[in-house]
Chains A and B, each alone.
Chain A
Amino acid sequence: MTSRIPTKDITAAPEFRLLVIAVFVFGLMSVLSPDRFLSAQNLTSMAFQFPEFAILALAMTLTMMTGGIDLSVVGIANLSAVTAALILTQVSDPSMPAAQSALWLALAVTAAMSVGAIAGLLNGALVAFFGLPPILATLGSGLVFTGFAIAMTGGSAVMGFPDTVALIGNAQVFGVPVPLILFVALAVILHLILTRTAFGLRVTMYGANPVAALYAAIDINRMLLKVYVISGMFASVAGLIIMSRANSAKADYGSSYLLLAVLIAVLGGVNPYGGYGRVIGVILAVLSMQFLSSGLNMLQVSNFARELIWGILLILVMVMNTHAVAALRASFAKSPK
């Protein structure tokens, strides 16, 4: 899409504003707390922290592109993690050789991903075949998924994994944290899906104008099923990372991530009514949020104040993107036409 925007207008793109915000926040935090914020240790720990919710935000982005939303991502993440955790604790034994436990890990990961895909398929079927509004379908199914996770664990955390589990969340490859690699891979995949495939084009068309998409003979049901299945599988990956980093799985981990995922997607310029969204915007939004959150942490701002700042940021960005404000900005700018 960038090719269509003339270079002199690059500053008009919403992603450019995000870049400015990200750089500004990074600069601000570096000035306020230079010795700690810019330390290698902090940069590495940030790279370990953000992928889990950033991946949920990618899932949210895809569903929002169709004008929907997926409120069940955290439920799916926890159900997948609990499934994997139960397999790992029931079947494998901490003293088994590494090769064998890696095999069990692969099996657990496959099971978790299948849970994510099935959960996504259920969401997609509810939205596509039963015509449920996505908010309600995923609200209800999110409760069901969380409920299954509670029922499977009795509400307590599942612990005691073999050491190989730490590979997903805590290891580094050539100094790059594995969660970051997973995030980048999924972001690239989502970007390619959205911009380089017919499926991505259908998603965008349907989000922009569902009726036109129907008349263009798009198989909408099939498209929606795929969207929610992909979203569910992304959520599973996030769940596995959370499991590995916490070294346990529980039905109510990461409950604050739901708001955060919606916030990041909207901040990243994804239109909640559907039809517009770019992965690069979401990545910039994730980085701004993480810089802000780590920086505030170093300035010893409480978690509650962070929640307050996130909320204000979300509303501020929405206000900045409204037509009224856009028109105001345009009237101040020199008219190019």
Chain B
Amino acid sequence: MSDWLPKDFWTRNETLVAGVIVVFCVIATISDPRFFTITTVSDLLRAAIVIGILAVGAMLVLVSGGIDVSFTAIAVFAMYSSTVLFLTIWPGAPWPLIFAISVVFGAILGAINGFFIAFLGLPTLIVTLGTLSVFRGFLLTFIGSQRISDLPPAMRDFSRGVLARGTTEAGNFYSIPWSVLALVFVIVLTWFILKKTILGRSIYAIGGSVESARRIGINVRWTQLFVYVYVGALAGLAGIIHGSVGRMADPFSLVGLELSVIAAVVLGGARLIGGYGTLTGTLLGVALIVIVQNSLIVIGIPTTWQSVTIGMLILLGTGVPAYRAKRAAARAG
């Protein structure tokens, strides 16, 4: 890239979202100077970890031209069933092993989605709506519907681990947990897959046009299967982190969050028709949603207006580019 700014810098969703975040933070800081402190930042960061990991997965699915609404059910399923498994057979297991098993559970459930979508060619929204209720129903019927607060000790140890902690001059406590590293790891891995491997380029290609991708020799089925397995694995990771950090395996948590996560991704510029989507945009979208969900009250909007605000943001954030694309198409046609 020869220029300092990309050519379409001013018309990108990323710029729009970043602008909204900056405006929000400025207004919030003016109305309450305590907003702009490390305590707020570390609170927001902690709230963003699970949503962030889920959003990276959801972004990958959107890029490939599909949509997945079942990942929250996968996350809860993997978290709860691996917790139950280890409590039964080996409560003293180290946390990396518990995490790995949760990721594997997630990947297996993702493979079920992938099978129906890649090999039977069913519509992604309908399949994942179906598997959402299958995974959730199976979990609550056969594995358990009780909250477990007596987690394996290693999971509780994980939640105590912090990268940095301290107290600000004003006396407010802050801490940045280990789980931030998981988000960083997921971002780096996904960046590598998307930008540096043939697989990643294939995901963008099938999102752009399945037929063209097939004709240039991309194995569409296995690429799609990979996408859903990867999303499942990320969901398994996000789920077990959610359980560990919250110190509670709650089979009713997370489900219901899927639309907010997809909203975050779409705000960040990923398109439902596939082929478009960046990690930067996704993370900005997550930041915006997390800030709106946690700090709306600071700028004087009552929390009862939270859904309206997020809904409006989705409509604006996706409506502006869609309208522009429609006008461009009309001019070209």
Contact = CB atoms under 8 A, between A and B. Distances in A.
Nearest to A315: B130
B129 interface: yes
Smallest CB-CB A-B distances: 4 pairs? A308-B137, A147-B307, A143-B311, A147-B308
Nearest to B310: A143
Given A131-B326, A137-B315, A143-B314, A307 B120 contact: no
Contact of B308 (A130, A148, A262, A266): A148
A133 B133 contact: no
5 contacts: A126-B315, A130-B319, A140-B318, A311-B134, A319-B120
Interface stretch (B27-35, B51-59, B97-105, B259-267): B259-267
B133 A311 contact: yes
A305 B325 CA distance: 44
B304 interface: yes
Contacts of B130: 263, 311-312, 314-315, 318
B116 interface: yes
Given A69-B125, A322-B121, A322-B122, A302 B315 contact: no
A229 to B, nearest CB: 18
A322 B132 contact: no
A132 B318 contact: yes
- Max chain B Cβ within 10 angstroms of own Cβ: one of A308, A312, A314: A308
B212 to A, nearest CB: 18
B141 A143 contact: no
Interface of B: 67, 116, 120-123, 125-127, 129-141, 145, 259, 262-263, 266, 272-273, 302, 304-312, 314-315, 318-319, 322-323, 325-326
Chain A at the B interface: mostly helix, strand, loop or mixed? helix
A310 interface: yes
Contact of B137 (A307, A319, A324): A307
Interface residues of A, number: 47
Nearest to A154: B304
Contact of B134 (A145, A273, A315, A322): A315
A272 B124 CA distance: 11
B308 A151 contact: yes
A311 to B, nearest CB: 4
Interface of A: 69, 126, 129-133, 135-137, 139-148, 150-151, 154-155, 259, 262-263, 266, 272-273, 302, 304-312, 314-315, 318-319, 322-324
Contacts of B305: 147, 150-151
A221 to B, nearest CB: 11
Nearest to B317: A140
Nearest to A127: B322
A145 B311 CA distance: 9
Given A147-B306, A304-B141, 14 more contacts: A130-B322, A132-B315, A136-B318, A136-B322, A144-B307, A144-B311, A150-B304, A302-B141, A304-B139, A306-B137, A308-B136, A311-B135, A315-B122, A318-B126
A135 B266 CA distance: 12
Given A131-B323, A304-B141, A272 B123 contact: yes
B126 A314 contact: yes
Contacts of B137: 304-311
Nearest to A150: B304
Given A69-B125, A318-B130, A304 B304 contact: no
B254 to A, nearest CB: 15
Given A272-B125, A307-B136, A311-B131, A143 B322 contact: no
A302 B145 CA distance: 11
Contacts of A310: 133, 137
Nearest to A319: B120
A147 B132 contact: no
B270 to A, nearest CB: 11
Contact of A151 (B67, B116, B304): B304
B311 A141 contact: yes
B132 A259 contact: yes
A146 B259 contact: no
Contacts of A324: 120-121
